[in-house]
A = this chain, B = another copy of it.
Amino acid sequence: MKIITIGREFGSGGRELGKRLADLTGFDYYDQEILHAIAEKKAHTSGYPESAVAFHAWRTLPLVFHHSFADEHAIHMNELIAQKEVLEEISALERDCIIIGQDADVILKEKKPFRIFVCAELNTRVKRCMERAEGKEKEFSEKEMKRNIKRIDKYRAQTRELVSGSKWGTREGYDLIVNSTDWRMQELAESIKDYMERWFARK
């Protein structure tokens, strides 16, 4: 089974890259939306009372999580637990897959995923987000968009540190960090596909 995990700066195109990579490889594809939907369905069908879920959390999450954990994170924690369980169920399927975000690289590290991180210059990311937001209900100024991007990245970095004790987007944690600035996503996906195939075949 081959697992590809894609961490990404907000607006860098990491999700689109993952989708295209899934099209090119035929791998299963999971992003935040899909994973949340699965987790929500699980929450509705499992009969566990809140307290049992919380207990389960303290038992299974890494130690660092306990240390930095505080009451105000209660709901957030439940989400993280559900997310972790869903990821483990997915990996138990033993099917090749691509997972966007959700700290899947850390949670599934025993499965030796190919860990990609996608970044891009801030201006490129702002432009990308502005285009995506066009015609939507809420319009953002460039300045607001910049602030949004930084806020979301900060949240991602914090969540990762909370879950894993390791840093987000620094070289120690990934097999490949790509800068998507000026790339067409399809070409970037093709390049990474070739690299990734060699990575899985190495040694």
Size category of the binding interface on chain A: 20 to 34
Check B177–A202 contact: CB distance below 8 A. no
A186 to chain B, nearest CB (A): 11
Interface SS of A by simple majority: mixed
Cβ contacts A168-203/B at 8 Å (1 or 0 each)? 011110111111001110011011101100110011
Measured CB to CB, the nearest residue on chain B to A202 is B183
State A54–B199 Cα separation when bound (angstroms): 47
Pairwise interchain contact B187-A179, C-beta atoms closer than 8 A:
no
A182 to B52: give the CA distance in the assembly, Å: 42
Report whether B202 and A117 are in contact in the complex, using a CB–CB cutoff of 8 Å: no
Interchain CB contact (< 8 A) of A179 among B175, B182, B183, B190: B175
Is A187's CB under 8 angstroms from B198's CB?
yes
Q: Which 8 A-B pairs have the closest CB atoms?
A: A177-B177, A119-B171, A191-B198, A175-B179, A191-B195, A171-B177, A183-B202, A182-B203
